[in-house]
Amino acid sequence: MRVGVVSYPGACDDRDAMHAVALMGAEPVRLWHAEPDLGGVDAVIIPGGFSYGDYLRPGALAALSPVMRGVRDHAGVGRPVLGICNGFQVLTEAGLVPGVLRPNASLKFRCHDVALTIERESPWLPGRSEGDELTIPMKHHDGCWFADAAQVAELEARGQVLLRYRENPNGSVGSIACVTNAEGNVAALMPHPEHAVEQLVGSTDGRVLLQGLLDLAGVAAPA
CA 17/CA 40 separation, integer angstroms: 19
Measured CA to CA in angstroms, residue 158 lies from 10, 179, 223 at distances of 35, 11, 26
pLDDT per residue over 104-136, tens digit each?
999 999 999 999 999 999 999 999 999 999 999
Q: What is the DSSP string of 156-212?
A: HHHT-EEEEESS-SS--GGGEEEEE-TTSSEEEESS-GGGSSBGGGTB-THHHHHHH
The pTM (predicted TM-score) of the whole model is: 0.96
CA 85/CA 139 separation, integer angstroms: 8
Give the CATH number for residue 183: 3.40.50.880
Q: Which domain holds residue 40?
A: 2-219
- Name the percent of the chain lying above pLDDT 90: 93
Q: Is 215 helix (H, G, I), strand (E, B) or coil?
A: helix
pLDDT per residue over 14-31, tens digit each?
999 999 999 999 999 999
Per-residue pLDDT band for 156 (boundaries 50, 70, 90) equals very high
Per-residue pLDDT band for 53 (boundaries 50, 70, 90) equals confident
Per-residue pLDDT band for 61 (boundaries 50, 70, 90) equals very high
- Confidence check: pLDDT of 83 > 70: yes
- Please provide the average confidence, as pLDDT, over all residues in the chain: 96
User: What is the number of structural domains in the chain?
Assistant: 1
As to burial, measured by CB atoms within 10 angstroms (0-12 exposed, 13-18 middle, 19+ buried), residue 159 is middle
Catalytic residue numbers read 85, 192, 194
Show Cβ contacts of residue 107 under 8 Å, excluding neighbours closer than 6 positions: none
Q: Are 163 and 218 in contact (CB under 8 A)?
A: no
